[in-house]
Each structure stands twice: as C-alpha cells, then as structure tokens.
Amino acid sequence: CAAAAAAGLDADQGTDYYEQNLCEEDECEVPSDTDFTVAILGDLHLDPRKMDDYYAGRDHFLPIIEDAQSRGVACALVSLGDLGESKSVRPDETQELFAGTTECHELASEFLSSFGVPYEVIGGNHDLEGIDEFATDEANLEAFLRIHGKPSPQFVREIAEKTLLVGLCSTVFRTAKYTSHEVTIDEEQLRWFETLVESKPAEDGWKIFVFSHAPPIGSGLRVLQENHVVNGCCWLNHSGGESTRKFIELVRKHRCIKGWFSGHFHLGQDYQDSITFPTIPRELGPYPNRGSCVFAQTSVMRGGTSRDGRQQSRLLRGNADGFEIATVDHRTGAVRLDATIAYTDTNHEVGVYAHEHAELKDNDNFMKVYSPSEGDECY
C-alpha cells in the first residue's frame, strides 16, 4: 500500500491490505478470480506444554485472513511439516517421542483447523517418527493421512483461476537408506508431480506454487553446512542420485512453476538468500538457471525452535499480474513485504527485494562473498 511504501523498507504493512487496496471511501472493488492469499507455516514442532507462541502466531494471522475473506479473496493455509516436538513431552511418564504420534497429529490438526480457512499439510522428516506407536512407515503414514483428512501424501489445490498450490510429502523414516532425517519424495509422487507440471503449461496461463519440507538442490537458499549438508538431509532426496536433481530440472523445464516454499532449517527470513530469484546480477555470480521460480525459506513460530532467534512465517499474495512474498513477524505481529514479483509474460518475471537484509544491517562494511565448501551444491 502507499502508506507502507512511504514509510520505507521494512515498514509494517498492517493487516488491512485488501481493505486499503480494494476499497475507496464507501465502495470496494470486487477481487478478480486470480486474487489469492496463502498463510505459510514453517516447522511447528508443537509441544502441548508450550502453546503460547502458537496461539500468538495464530492471532497475528487471523486479522490478515479476515481482511482477505471479507473482500472475497480466496484463502488457504499450508503447513510445511515437522508438526511435533521430537522428544518426550511427558518425560516423567515416558521417553516416547511426541513427533509422529497420533496425539501429535491430532493436536496439529486441531491447531491448523483453527485458522478459519482450509489447510493443507505435508510431511517433514519428523512426521513419521512415531516409532513406539507404529511399527512401519506405512502405518504411521496412514495415521498421518487419516487424521489430516488427506487422500494422498501429496496435494494439489486450485486456489485461483489457473493457479495451483502443490505439496510434496516425505514418506520415509524407518526405511531410509542412509539417514532417517532425509526428506524423501517417493517415486510415485515424483512421477505425479512431473505429469502435473507437464499438463499445466505456462503458455496456457498456468501458475504453480510448490511446497515441500526441504528445498530442492539448486534453489540457492541458505543452508546449514554442519547440520544438514554433511549429514545428507539438506535437500529433497539428498542421497537419491538422479532424483536429487530431478526437482530443479523440472523447475528449469516448466516455467509454470513460479514459487517454491520450504522450511527445515529453522532459520529466519531476514537474509538475502532467504529468498532467491530466477536470475541474479552478473556481478554476483553465474546465471543460476532457476527457470521461472522464486524460492523462499520459511522460519518457525515458536521461539524455542529457532536457530537464530527469529520467529516468522510467510504470507503469499497474488493475482494475474504477479505475487508478493511477505513475512509475518511473530515477536511483534508486523507484516513486512519481502519481495515483489511481476509477470512480464507467461515465461518470465521481474523480482525485487523489498526489505533490508540482516547481513547489511549488522555491518556497515559488509561485503557478501561466498566460499564453496566440500559437500555443498556449489563446490
């Protein structure tokens, strides 16, 4: 909105975005069939003993959702998985991990249902971790799907005209080849995803936003070398050989894929490489070939689960002309515009960062230099 723009970078957009953009005096425009809003939650790691941050985070989203719904804008919520705390939540009674249990998924379903919009959820590397309750991944996955009302691990939702939300779900824990915490998209889902994007060409006006727990290799997002890269659980199908590269190859080939949201790293959304664009200035490095896709890292809601102290979620708003990615800051409730992406045609877009990056704020003399490390995607 004009008021936020006048206030400069990092200004609070407030929770009345559509009221300001669609309404003048006593009259409001009717939103088009292409307008939509999506609330995106990163790793929740719900703990029934520590729900205050989750309720506060929900309260930050409710007026945003109400603003969109009251103007007739299509809304949905997407959870990026890792729904429960990966430790006992009753240590005096049991050592059973909470993540992946029936109790965990029932609590998550209750919480995600309380936002007043349809929710979609995908599994992360902890969502089949109910190893004391379930003997197999298949039994654990069946409970996950049943409790969340999912007909299949993956999902597709047409939220606006020729605009799809697509989710890919990790389905392996006990039977993982290397580490149980690798985010694994099985072959059946991968074939389904390839068929879907092939059937929705950008030239026909289709736009697809993808959601997965971990990002694909080639996304360029900030990663944790010491935690995830060296342990083989950083990117989708990290140890999967050809399937590791399949995701970015599909992104490069199918320009209907406009955005890809992931979590997994428990890192904030204030860094320059928290969002990556399809192209970058030549002086920053070689052309990354990310097709037509903007990749976005999503942080966490609860303070005790954050690796850098940030508590943030994502907000996606779009229409026929492009889309915006924003941050909902759960320490203050502020809504910050992060990036604006305008479609120039069906196969190209222009992205602009809309906030100052943490690296630049922390050091006036900062110069960003990347040093490839053994094991990462640029070595």
pLDDT of 373: 41
Q: What is the Cα–Cα distance from 363 to 358, expressed in whole angstroms?
A: 9
pLDDT of 235: 80
pLDDT of 71: 92
pLDDT of 239: 72
For the record, the structure tokens of 132 come out as 């004391």
pTM of the model: 0.87
CA dihedral 220, 221, 227, 233 (to 10 degrees): -70
Contact indicator for 254, 207 with CB cutoff of 8 Å: no
pLDDT in tens, the chain (379 residues): 333 343 455 778 889 888 888 776 666 677 789 999 999 999 999 999 999 999 999 999 999 999 999 999 999 999 999 999 999 999 999 999 999 999 999 999 999 999 999 999 999 999 999 999 999 999 999 999 999 999 999 999 999 999 999 999 999 989 888 777 789 999 999 999 999 999 999 999 999 999 999 999 888 887 754 444 434 467 888 676 787 889 999 999 999 999 999 999 888 888 888 999 887 666 666 666 888 999 999 999 999 888 888 999 999 999 999 999 999 999 999 999 999 999 987 777 777 776 665 544 555 443 333 333 444 333 2
**Which helix (H) or strand (E) segment is 379 a member of?**
none
Closest CA to 291 of 240, 211, 219: 219
pLDDT of 26: 64
Give me the domains of the chain, ranges plus CATH numbers. Answer: 31-362 (3.60.21.10)
Contacts of 146 (CB under 8 A, 6+ apart): none
**Which helix (H) or strand (E) segment is 228 a member of?**
none
Q: What is the Cα–Cα distance from 109 to 129, expressed in whole angstroms?
A: 17
